[in-house]
Amino acid sequence: MKGSRIILDHLGAREAAALLVNGRLDDVLIDDDSAPRPGAIFRAICDRPMKGQGGMMLRLPEGTAFLRQAKGLRPGQPMLVQVTGVSEAGKAVPVTDRILFKSRYAIVTPGAPGRNISRQIADEEERARLHEIAEAAGTGDFGLILRSQCEGAPDEDIAADIAAMLDLAAAVTGDAAGTEPEALTEGDGPHALAWREWQADDVVTDPGGFAREGVLDALADVLRPEVDLGEGSMHVEPTRALVAVDVNTGGDTSPAASLKANLAAARALPRALRLRGLGGQVAVDFAPMSKAHRKQVEQSLRAAFRADPVETSLVGWTAMGLFELQRKRERLPTAPLIRGLV
């Protein structure tokens, strides 16, 4: 089926959302209550500085958080922080003191005044229309960013979204003082995130959509390390330290086999990591190829990750010929969340 579809359903008791592009599973979000959601906002209490790291350990209502670049903070000081990613078992939750209130059309930025429009919107008439909406919103001391999804959206929908985010920002920032840690927002779940971040021609909300639309079958493939590339294969296997990726040419013994397999792997890698919820350090062992072909493969990697929603830094080639990436841990690994359910 051509086009994109969003499927909103549940896996057991977990809220879940899937994005299908041309009938193929392109992304999946699955809720988990074992840790704070990315985007959740807390009033945290500074606990102790981490000497040598320039950070601060913070107390949350349940557990601890780690804030980088905590210069000038003192133990016992309350502050607003926002969860930036998921934490591994036994580790502190990563947080930032740069709070954002993000919705489908608008991002409100306390402490960073000004009005901006996404650079992806190039049409001057459209930008002028959005400037008028932003001016009419009356953001006060808050900053405002209008996202690319505003393009073509009705004025009243954008204005309502801005107003909702401004109200939420005012309520949360007004609750910053206090002597005890407290959860102020819980962060968006998969259904809200799908509405906020994905664009689709159709949205399926009827229960059982995952089974009817083939999402469960596609998720079963995520439990397998092997990814069929058509031009060879790729294995994606997480370890405690890193994610290991191995590319093979399969039965193709032609002179161009390695380059074809490596280019196919470069195109497929963002989706493979995204569906598996994998982040951190990634080491890719491409099929043997000449150094002259490395630049071509690296260009393909950069183009593929440019369209990926998860922040990824391409570090480069090691002395052993591996390619290293550093990927933000925005999600929990998918396999433990779906095992036994698909």
pLDDT value of residue 197: 94
Count of C-beta atoms within a 10 Å radius of residue 168:
16
pLDDT value of residue 41: 97
Helix-then-strand count for the chain, H and E: 8, 20
pLDDT value of residue 125: 95
pLDDT value of residue 94: 94
Of the candidates 212, 219, 240, 305, which has an alpha carbon nearest to the alpha carbon of residue 89?
A: 240
Enclosing domain of residue 234: 224-338
pLDDT value of residue 140: 85
pLDDT value of residue 24: 94
State which of 133, 160, 188 marks the end of a domain: 188
Count of C-beta atoms within a 10 Å radius of residue 262:
28
pLDDT value of residue 33: 80
Cβ(69)–Cβ(41) below 8 Å: no
Domain count, the chain: 3
Tokens of 292: 């002259």
Residue 100 CB contacts under 8 Å (≥ 6 apart), including other chains:
82, 107, 108, 109
Residue 339 burial by CB count (10 A; 0-12/13-18/19+): exposed, middle or buried? Answer: exposed
If DSSP codes are grouped into helix, strand and coil, which group holds residue 214? coil
Q: Indicate if 51 and 120 belong to the same structural domain.
A: no
Q: Indicate if 57 and 120 belong to the same structural domain.
A: no
Specify the CATH number for the domain of residue 105: 3.30.230
Q: Indicate if 51 and 121 belong to the same structural domain.
A: no
Cα(133)–Cα(118) distance, integer angstroms: 14
Instruction: Using alpha carbons only, give the angle 88, 91, 94 rounded to the nearest 5 degrees.
Output: 85
Q: Indicate if 233 and 287 belong to the same structural domain.
A: yes
Residues of the chain below pLDDT 70? 1
If DSSP codes are grouped into helix, strand and coil, which group holds residue 209? helix
Residue 301 CB contacts under 8 Å (≥ 6 apart), including other chains:
266, 269, 314, 323
Local structure of residue 201 (DSSP, 8 states): S
Instruction: Using alpha carbons only, give the angle 253, 259, 260 rounded to the nearest 5 degrees.
Output: 75
Give a yes or no: residue 2 inside a domain: no
Q: Indicate if 115 and 88 belong to the same structural domain.
A: no
pLDDT tens-digit series, residues 290-330: 989 999 999 999 999 999 999 999 999 999 999 999 999 98
Q: Indicate if 76 and 143 belong to the same structural domain.
A: no
